[in-house]
Structure 1
Amino acid sequence: MPAPRTLLLTGAAGGLGTLMRELLPGVYGYELRLFDVNPVPGAPDAITADLSDTGALREAARGVDAILHLAGISLEAPFEKILRANIEGTYNLYEAAREADVKRVVFASSNHAVGFTPRPLDGDPVVPVDTPHRPDTFYGLSKCFGEDLASLYWDRHGIETVSVRIGSCFPEPTTVRMLSIWMSPADGARLFHAALTAENVGHTVVYGSSANTRLWWDLGPARALGYRPQDNAEVYADKLIAEQGELDAANPEHAHLGGQFCTNPPIWPH
């Protein structure tokens, strides 16, 4: 599809939203409409509202060409908070898209939707995108819901969605685990742009990371959208391994895709 002209970016004040609100207009020319529960620095026209504010969401979605949905709680929290922000909030977002006749959404899913999947060891195949949901937290569970909700809105209402199971999108990886799941901000923008512009996606689920040497999952479906990652976390490997050591498959924190989210109680770094 042609590149959307006006893009609703929810979660615009968050960490990933901040990165994308700089990269997407500057590199790809998007005109952004910004939405967040918190004020967006330097953006007085941003819509400051909660995802439970259906009126504000309807107004935000009116007239846009596509939506990049990054809003919600990005760590584990009590179920009631996850329910309100990530489950009911994502439903409200899709209802606003339906009412405004927006036909393309890119949904920020997460590796934590499949977090209890064992990580591949040396010689194992990478994890396919059709691996069954195995959420590691209420947060991961909410991402399973979002993927399934997106599928429903495609089948019932014709709203196309690419659900991106994001690993860790930071300027550089900070743990040895991130050497396998890191997505550079520039590659994040490349992937979101591909997801916004690919033809006939229906409902597609992809993993989101850079072309890492130690990659745990299959980037083939993302590449099929036109994604061409340019970065590799391996340039940070020597430093991180010297500081932290290699991953240990016998350590519960290292045994699954979800890392520390799979511990009890969960620990929060992505």
Structure 2
Amino acid sequence: MSKIVLTGAAGALGGRLRAPLARLADTLVSTDLAESLDGLADNETYVKADVGDAAAMMELIEGADMVVHFGAIPDEAPFEEILHSNFLGAYNVWNAAQKHGTRRIIYASSIHAMGMYPKTVQITTDMPHRPDTFYGLSKCFAEDMASMYWDKYGLEAVCLRIYSASGPVQNARALGSWLSYDDLIQLVEKSVTSPITGFAVIYGVSNNDRSPVDNSKASFLGYRPKDNAEDYAAEILAKTPVADPQDKGQMCHGGPFATVPLGVSGVQFIKKMSEGN
């Protein structure tokens, strides 16, 4: 294809997508709030821009065949901050894509759109939202907007409910929720190259024996995850205390995000837990 726009290109996940996406298009336009990016591909350009700036998104997305939208606050935060980057940012991307005739948006949604469901419930892609934070609520908004723009304008969207994207598995929760970086790249590549997607919601998980989600509807993409968190199970479980069934942080799909007060960083909460504070 001619042009792909990647938002959130300086982020932990967006940064891993730059090289694979550059191989799929004549031009990759990467954007984020960083001043610059190192290691640009020969066909990659970088533009510093705020997804909350409507004019900037309108200019960037002009001529794009697809947008891979990973640009947002990746954590719980005060509502006003989430409103700008996650709610308004998503609207600006969809509005610009529709105005310019972009074919498809691949969106970094999150399990936190469903975070208050108990882990004893295997969640599907067609169950009602049940967000755990303002952050999760922003993902619900963008998914519903994606559905509306598909129904109204035929703008395709693949919403990837990413669970726990990381390197090696770090904790017991990730034995079910892990998404390896290699499987993340495969999932995004398949979302870009699939001939037809319409509006789709897909769970971003690897081929885990303990996966708590039903991802059967991802098969049409050709997504076949290769990694399995069970490879880490013996080591992880040997050092994991018995779970407390009264602790929503252990019993809900959203993990610690199910317990933090609204507006308080879930990432910092997890860090304090890991440090024993």
Q: Distance in 2 between matches of 1:217 and 1:232?
A: 14
Q: 1:39 to 1:262 in 2, by over 3 A?
A: same
Q: Deviations over 1:127-161 (max 9, x none)?
A: 21112100000000000000001011111111000
Q: 1:232 to 1:47 in 2, by over 3 A?
A: same
Q: Which residue of 1 aligns with 2:79?
A: 79
> Is 1:268 matched with 2:266?
yes
- Per mean C-alpha deviation after superposition, the further-off stretch among 236-245 and 98-107 is 236-245
SS at match of 1:183: strand
Provide the C-alpha distance between the structure 1 equivalents of 2:245 and 2:27, rounded to a whole number of angstroms.
45
CA contact (8 A) 1:176 1:247 kept: no
CA apart distance, 1:32: 2.0
Structure 1 segments unaligned to the other structure (5+ residues): none
Partner of 1:244, secondary structure, is coil
CA RMSD of aligned residues (A): 1.9
Aligned residue in 2 for 1:105: 105
Q: Distance in 1 between matches of 2:266 and 2:3?
A: 34
Which sits farther off after the overlay, 230-239 or 100-109?
230-239
Gap regions ≥5 residues in structure 2: 271-277
Q: Does the 8 Å CA contact 2:113/2:140 hold for their aligned counterparts?
A: yes
**Moved segments of 4+, more than 6 Å:** none
Deviations 1:3-52 (A, max 9, x none): x44311100000001111134446x5674210112234214931101112
Q: Which amino acid aligns with 2:86?
A: N
On the 8 A contact 2:4/2:25 being kept in 1, the answer is no
Residue identity in the other structure for 1:20 = L
Question: What secondary structure, in the 3-state scheme, does the structure 1 residue paired with 2:239 have?
Answer: helix
1:19 equivalent in alignment to 2:21 = no
Q: Identify the residue that residue 93 of structure 1 maps to in structure 2.
A: 93
1:138-186 CA deviation, whole Å, 9 max, x = no partner?
A: 0000000000010111111110001110001112222211111111111
Partners in 2 of 1:97 and 1:219 — Cα distance?
27
In the alignment, the residues of structure 1 paired with residue 244 and residue 70 of structure 2 have an alpha-carbon distance, to the nearest angstrom, of 32
State how far apart, in whole Å, the 2-side matches of 1:250 and 1:157 are: 45
TM norm structure 1 = 0.90
Shift of 1:237: 1.7
Candidates 147, 151, 154, aligned match of 1:155: 151
Aligned sequence identity (%): 40
Q: Give the TM-score of the pair, scaled to structure 2.
A: 0.88
